[in-house]
Chain A
Amino acid sequence: MISLKNLLPTLSLLAFLVIWQGLAVYLDSNTLPAPEAVAKVFWQACVSGQLPFHLGVTLLRLVISFAIAMLLGCAIGIVLGRNKKLDAFFDNWLVIFLNVPALVTIILCYVWFGLIESAAILAVVINKLPNVIVTIREGTRMLDQDLLDMARCYRFSKRKTLTHVIWPQLHPFVMGATRSGLALIWKIILVVELLGRSNGMGYQLHLFFQLFDVASILAYTIAFVAVIQLIELLILKPLDKKALRWRK
């Protein structure tokens, strides 16, 4: 039995398409192609291999920079959360890095290290890292001291304490950093590619902008949003479910 509540998301998507179509017909302009035209471009880009290639390149950069930022960020965040002196020392650095505009980091990385792949990755990591550190540091400060004492008096090894006592408590913070991180990194990677790479979604979008090809821009955007949704649905949701199975 399909209830109205389950139908609502589909209905809202349909409404969105109808409004889009209506506007496109009403404006009748190159600047807003109809959904149908975008679908056609999307299909052609997929068949020609262009879209999958550039999407793949961007995804690879995403995975690498995301992994580096999360690993480093978690490690540094835990250390700062557990050590008041180090935290007091590095707090200012964090504030500075949190507030440097993404564009500035990207330009500086390219100027200092050249228009190379590692400079691009580094720029993304530097942009994301402070966010992860701050989130994980907050999580570490909120760790349950009672449970840590329990682990200590039962002589848990460092590794056991980390995997069984600390990590499960940090899980919500890590997932928060992951979600906000994905959204942030996607956007930064496009700028990085636009400014200094010769492939990837950002590069392509730049090209379409110069050609005034709105249909392609929209087609790429849709592919983009779809991939993020897939990551949420296929990776993040199941991870959440597994980690929180002990909840009532």
Chain B
Amino acid sequence: MTDIQIQIDNKTYQAAADPSIVDLKLSLTSEEFICLVGPSGCGKTTLLNIIAGLDNDYEGDILVGQQHTSPKIGYVFQNPRLLPWRTVRENIELAVDKHQAREVIDAMLEAMQLTASQHSYPEHLSLGMSRRVAIIRAFAVDPEVLLMDEPFVSLDAPTARQVRELLLNLWQQRPHTILFVTHDLREAIALADRLIFLSAAPMQVVSEIVVPIPRSERGNELVIESFRQQLLKNHPEIKQLL
């Protein structure tokens, strides 16, 4: 695994006059879980699309290690974007270069509690299950950076919590660099090694905060909540971003 440097300049939307991203620099340490927190409409999805190579209309550079290449991407979109005419298993296998060892996919299906549904079509799955399939697909390609765009939005609280725990579980078994976009500070604290707060128009890094809570205590709502309170007290500048 390699570290990744991202530098984006002069990204402008067709409709807008002013650039929405000016000189944004992010550096991702290998196998780090980073949450990007910012107000809706500040361009977080655009940022992910640029990194994923889906949006090439910008100036700047993405460095993987020392090389100027686009990193290998796993992307969990806001809606799961599964092929409806392929089963759960086929959807995962299609994303993988060669047929990855069946056992690897089996193990991930098991970890995400989807073994029983692996031959179902996406239309028969609940939203939470579809999201889990999308997460497995993203891990299965063994990406250099794994992008997640608010993957738990519009899930009810218990389901979101369950999927979050399964995600952390999977990530600890197969550590990857993750860039996770959210506007939910509690969720970000529960997941991240490092929080990056972004402002809107133009998008800028307001502050970066390392979350010191040990992984074993991330499930404890009280710990998360007290860290959140403390964060808002010590960093008043992030209040307006939420």
B84 lies within 8 A of A246 (CB) = yes
Chain B residues with CB under 8 Å of A149's CB are 49, 54, 81
Interface size on A, residues (CB 8 A): 17
In chain A, what residue has the closest Cβ to B51? A153
Known: A147-B81, A149-B54, A164-B86. A154 touches B75 (CB 8 A): yes
Cβ proximity bits B152-187 to A, threshold 8 Å, 1 near / 0 not: 000000000000000000000000000000000000
Known: A154-B75, A154-B141, A165-B83. A248 touches B123 (CB 8 A): yes
CA A153 to CA B145, docked complex, whole Å:
12
Chain B residues with CB under 8 Å of A150's CB are 75, 77, 81
Known: A152-B53, A152-B54, A153-B54. A147 touches B94 (CB 8 A): no
Count, A-B residue pairs, CB within 8 A:
45
Partner of B83, one of A147, A152, A155, A243: A147
Chain A residues with CB under 8 Å of B74's CB are 154
Chain A residues with CB under 8 Å of B141's CB are 154
Whether a CB of chain B sits under 8 angstroms from the CB of A82 is no
Partner of A153, one of B73, B79, B86: B73
Whether a CB of chain B sits under 8 angstroms from the CB of A212 is no
B54 lies within 8 A of A146 (CB) = no
Partner of B77, one of A146, A156, A243: A146
CA A209 to CA B85, docked complex, whole Å:
51
Whether a CB of chain B sits under 8 angstroms from the CB of A40 is no
Known: A160-B94, A246-B84. A153 touches B124 (CB 8 A): no
Whether a CB of chain A sits under 8 angstroms from the CB of B52 is yes
Whether a CB of chain B sits under 8 angstroms from the CB of A114 is no
In chain B, what residue has the closest Cβ to A165? B83
Whether a CB of chain B sits under 8 angstroms from the CB of A247 is yes
Chain B residues with CB under 8 Å of A243's CB are 85
Q: How large is the interface on B (under 10, 10 to 19, 20 to 34, 35 or more residues)?
A: 20 to 34
Whether a CB of chain A sits under 8 angstroms from the CB of B209 is no
Known: A153-B53, A156-B94. A146 touches B81 (CB 8 A): yes
CA A156 to CA B73, docked complex, whole Å:
12
Cβ proximity bits A131-162 to B, threshold 8 Å, 1 near / 0 not: 00000000000000011011011111000100
46-63 of chain B: CB within 8 A of chain A: 49, 52-54
Known: A146-B79, A150-B77, A164-B94. A246 touches B53 (CB 8 A): no
Whether a CB of chain A sits under 8 angstroms from the CB of B227 is no
Whether a CB of chain B sits under 8 angstroms from the CB of A168 is yes
Chain A residues with CB under 8 Å of B52's CB are 153
A168 lies within 8 A of B54 (CB) = no
Nearest CB of chain A from residue B143's CB, rounded to whole Å = 9
In chain A, what residue has the closest Cβ to B124? A248
Chain B residues with CB under 8 Å of A165's CB are 83
Nearest CB of chain B from residue A172's CB, rounded to whole Å = 12
CA A150 to CA B82, docked complex, whole Å:
9
Cβ proximity bits A55-84 to B, threshold 8 Å, 1 near / 0 not: 000000000000000000000000000000
With A164-B83, A164-B94, A246-B85 known, 11 other A-B pairs at CB within 8 A are A146-B77, A146-B81, A147-B83, A149-B81, A153-B54, A153-B75, A154-B73, A154-B74, A154-B94, A154-B95, A164-B86
Binding site for A on B (CB under 8 A): 49, 52-54, 72-75, 77, 79, 81, 83-86, 94-95, 121-124, 137, 141
Q: List 27 A-B contacts (CB under 8 A).
A: A146-B79, A146-B81, A147-B81, A147-B83, A149-B49, A149-B54, A150-B75, A150-B77, A152-B54, A153-B52, A153-B53, A153-B54, A153-B75, A154-B74, A154-B95, A154-B141, A155-B72, A156-B95, A164-B94, A165-B83, A168-B83, A246-B84, A246-B85, A246-B86, A246-B123, A248-B123, A248-B124
Binding site for B on A (CB under 8 A): 146-147, 149-150, 152-156, 160, 164-165, 168, 243, 246-248
Q: Nearest 10 pairs between A and B by C-beta?
A: A246-B121, A150-B81, A154-B95, A153-B52, A168-B85, A246-B85, A153-B75, A153-B73, A248-B123, A149-B54
